[in-house]
């Protein structure tokens, strides 16, 4: 029977793409060369507490040790070094030893990544572009990381200039509506409204959105029983992002009487401004 090619990731099911939260958690890196240094950098950016086990270190890793950014065990890795680490990354030029360590780490319940051996990996490291809370990741399941990096750069160069501002204001609106439309009876409506705005509003409109005004109109429309789809169209049509006039919602039949309070906030008594 032919042994599996460690570079062949095409025979496995597609991976579940997730973003691991490693802040305050330990991670072990086996190896002290350039590849290991790159992995250490990613782990430290994610807030992990990193231990490196290797007889020798690259200049970059030695500098990190001098700055006390990581713990160094100055010898070849042993199975006992794997204990207590939920994430283990192996980057050594010894395929046989890499496979042994990967199996031992996995037996301890760790998630394992082995450099240049996607078939031995529980997870791969995508090429990532970051801008604030925005993270765009491209992966080829470990088969062609150089091409993944190229595609990441090409995608990043075509992202809208208004995207960071749009993300911040949309996230703010989402948090606000979760507070003032928090009941279970509002959940589906709120999610449909937000999904509709995310799909339909331009990046520029989202980036310049007046969050408080948009939230006020959304709350008023919900109280009037307007469906989420119609509320999205009303908000967009009235340009609620820039001190909108009252949104126009076309409804059949008689309209109920209403009282509108200018400057009344989002409906919470503590926010009434008179």
Q: Distance between the two ends of the chain, CA-based, in angstroms?
A: 80
pLDDT band with cut points at 50, 70 and 90 for residue 5: low
One domain for residues 47 and 78: yes
- 131 with 174, same domain: the answer is no
Mean pLDDT of the chain: 86
Got the DSSP string for 17-43?
------TT-EEEEE--SHHHHHHHHHH
In this prediction, residue 14 has a pLDDT band, given cuts at 50, 70 and 90, of confident
Residues 33 and 118 in one domain: yes
> How many Cβ atoms are within 10 Å of 231's Cβ, its own excluded?
23
Instruction: Give the domain extent around 47.
Output: 26-125
CA dist., res. 56 & res. 32, Å (int): 6
Are 37 and 76 contained in the same domain? yes
CB atoms within 10 A of CB 220: 19
Give CA 265 to chain center in angstroms: 31
Token look-up 């039949």 returns 253
Dihedral sign (CA 20, 87, 126, 44): positive
Residue 18 pLDDT > 50: yes
Residue 104: is its pLDDT beyond 60? yes
Asked if 227 and 184 sit in the same domain, the reply is yes
Over 90: is that where the pLDDT of 6 sits?
Answer: no
pLDDT of 253 over the 80 cut:
no
Domains: count for the chain: 3
User: 264 falls in which pLDDT band (50, 70, 90)?
Assistant: very low
The whole-model pTM stands at 0.72
Domain of 45: which CATH number? 3.40.50.720
- Give the pLDDT score at 112: 98
With residues binned 3-state (H G I as helix, E B as strand, rest as coil), the percentages for the chain, rounded to 5, are: 45, 10, 45
């Amino acid at each position: 029977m032919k042994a599996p090619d460690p570079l062949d990731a095409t025979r496995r099911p597609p991976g579940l793409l997730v973003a691991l939260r490693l802040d305050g958690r330990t991670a072990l890196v086996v190896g002290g060369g350039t590849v290991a240094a790159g992995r250490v950098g990613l782990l430290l950016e994610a807030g992990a507490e990193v231990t490196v086990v290797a007889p020798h270190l690259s200049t970059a890793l030695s500098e990190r040790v001098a700055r006390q950014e990581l713990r160094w065990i100055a010898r070849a890795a042993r199975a006992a070094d794997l204990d207590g680490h939920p994430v283990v990354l192996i980057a050594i030029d010894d395929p046989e030893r890499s496979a042994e360590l990967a199996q031992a780490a996995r037996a301890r319940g760790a998630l394992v990544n082995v450099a240049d051996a996607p078939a031995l990996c529980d997870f791969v490291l995508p090429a990532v572009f970051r801008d604030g809370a925005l993270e765009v990741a491209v992966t080829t399941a470990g088969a062609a990381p150089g091409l993944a990096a190229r595609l990441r750069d090409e995608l990043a160069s075509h992202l809208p200039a208004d995207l960071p501002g749009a993300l911040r204001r949309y996230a703010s609106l989402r948090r606000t509506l979760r507070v003032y439309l928090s009941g279970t009876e509002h959940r589906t409506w709120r999610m449909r409204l937000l999904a509709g705005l995310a799909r339909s509003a331009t990046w520029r409109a989202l980036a310049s959105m007046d969050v408080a005004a948009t939230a006020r109109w959304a709350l008023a429309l919900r109280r009037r029983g307007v469906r989420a789809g119609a509320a999205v169209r009303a908000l967009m049509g009235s340009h609620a992002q820039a001190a909108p006039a009252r949104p126009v919602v076309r409804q059949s039949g008689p309209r109920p009487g209403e009282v509108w309070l200018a400057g009344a906030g989002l409906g919470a008594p503590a926010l009434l401004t008179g």
